[in-house]
């Protein structure tokens, strides 16, 4: 398209300079704070961070919840995506619209709705006590379960949409062919559908996992300080304790975990593919 590389580079330069100055550089400065103490490079902030039981608990909880939300959204996502892909065009369009709809509503509004739904007088507890499953309303708000439900609802659409596009790109006759050759439904999924849609799963999985890991509003509102996650802990460090070093440590951990999740999921996908 361009006559020489120089022209292309010149065009890219303003954007590159902008991104470097207002994004990469500040992030680098912030992250480097975590590796410096008394003018020297050190890992002491990291060893100190992981030496505190609270921090370890919060780290493991964030990691576990991220995995759980990703796994459950993959299961529900595949089922929903299958159902939607096989619908006639109008029905498909409507359902995709419904799936996308929550993405257009502010996460704050969506999360506050859960406070009403999961509360002692909310619809869930009314159902539970009404059916006689429990005499007393259950404690749902400000628990890990509430955070899990909130995050799942927040990020499930991203998984469904990724899987829909992956399933649509799959050859139409792959499944009938596998069935004709005698595969049961489990084999069809495991040996045909999963390998052919792995990219959608990787994209969806990365979005859901990193999203759950870095979401702030949902854990803050539905979990509060009883269910601290890395992001809520980071907020506490900055705005309460004014401890930017610990916050930078958490930020670095979050970035590393996000990249690691992406690389790991890609590896898993290609490994399955080679077999």
Partner 1 sequence: MKRILIASVAIAALSPLGAAAAERTLTISVYAFAQDDFKTLVYDPFEAQCGCKLVVETGNSVERLAKMEANKANPVVDLAAVSMADALAASRAGLIDKVDTAKLSNFAKLYDVAKDPNGDGMSVGYTFYATSIAYRSDKMKIDSWADLLKPEYVGHIAFPNVTTNQGPPALYMLGLALGKDTPDLKGSIEALGEKKDDIVTFYEKSSQLVQLMQQEEIWAAPIGRFSWAGFTKLNVPIAWATPKEGQTGGMNVLVLTKGSKNQDLAMQFMDFWLSTEIQTTLAEKLVDSPANSEVKLSEAAANNLTYGEATAKSLKLIPSAIALDNRAGWLKTWNEKVGQ
Which residues contact partner 1 by CB under 8 A? 52-54, 57-58, 115-116, 119-122, 139, 141-142, 220-221, 224-226, 228, 236, 239-242
Q: Helices (H) and strands (E) in the chain — how many of each?
A: 15, 2
Query: What do you get for the CA distance between the two ends of the chain, in Å?
Result: 39
In this complex, which beta carbon is closest to partner 1, that of residue 112 or of residue 189? 112
> In a 3-state reduction of DSSP, which class is residue 132?
coil
Task: Tell me the closest approach of the beta carbon of residue 120 to partner 1, in angstroms.
Answer: 5
Nearest-approach distance from CB 67 to partner 1, in angstroms: 20
Q: Say if residues 119 and 141 touch (Cβ distance below 8 Å).
A: yes
Closest to partner 1 by CB, 140 vs 158, is 140
What distance in Å separates the CA atoms of residue 57 and residue 39, rounded to the nearest whole number?
Answer: 30
Q: Of 94 and 226, which has the nearer Cβ to partner 1?
A: 226
For residue 210, which of 69, 90, 25 has the smallest C-alpha distance? 69
Smallest distance, Å, CB 115 to partner 1?
7
* Nearer Cβ to partner 1 (102/119): 119
Nearest-approach distance from CB 167 to partner 1, in angstroms: 41
CB of 240 to partner 1, least distance (A): 4
Shorter beta-carbon distance to partner 1: residue 146 or 269: 146
Q: For every residue of 145-173, which 3-state class applies, written as one string? A: HHHHHHHHHHHHHHHHHHHHHHHHCCCCC
């Amino acid at each position: 398209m361009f006559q020489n590389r120089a022209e292309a580079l010149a065009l890219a330069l303003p954007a590159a300079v902008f991104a470097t100055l207002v994004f990469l550089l500040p992030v680098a400065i912030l992250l480097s704070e975590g590796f410096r103490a008394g003018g020297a490079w050190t890992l002491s902030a990291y060893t100190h961070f992981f030496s505190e039981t609270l921090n370890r608990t919060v780290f493991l909880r964030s990691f576990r919840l991220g995995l759980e939300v990703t796994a459950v959204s993959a299961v529900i996502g595949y089922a929903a995506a299958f159902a939607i892909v096989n619908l006639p065009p109008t029905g498909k369009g409507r359902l995709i619209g419904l799936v996308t709809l929550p993405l257009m509503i502010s996460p704050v509004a969506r999360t506050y709705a859960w406070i009403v739904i999961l509360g002692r007088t909310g619809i869930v507890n009314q159902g539970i006590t009404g059916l006689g499953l429990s005499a007393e309303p259950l404690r749902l708000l400000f628990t890990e379960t509430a955070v899990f439900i909130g995050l799942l609802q927040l990020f499930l659409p991203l998984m469904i949409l990724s899987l829909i596009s992956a399933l649509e790109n799959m050859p139409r006759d792959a499944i009938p062919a596998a069935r004709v050759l005698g595969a049961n439904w489990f084999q069809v999924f495991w040996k045909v559908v999963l390998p052919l849609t792995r990219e959608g799963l990787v994209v969806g999985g990365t979005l859901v996992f990193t999203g759950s890991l870095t979401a702030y509003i949902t854990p803050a509102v539905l979990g509060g300080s009883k269910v601290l996650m890395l992001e809520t802990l980071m907020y506490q460090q900055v705005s309460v304790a004014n401890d930017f070093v610990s916050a930078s440590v958490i930020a670095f951990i979050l970035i590393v975990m996000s990249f690691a999740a992406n690389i790991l999921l890609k590896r898993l996908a290609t490994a399955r593919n080679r077999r």
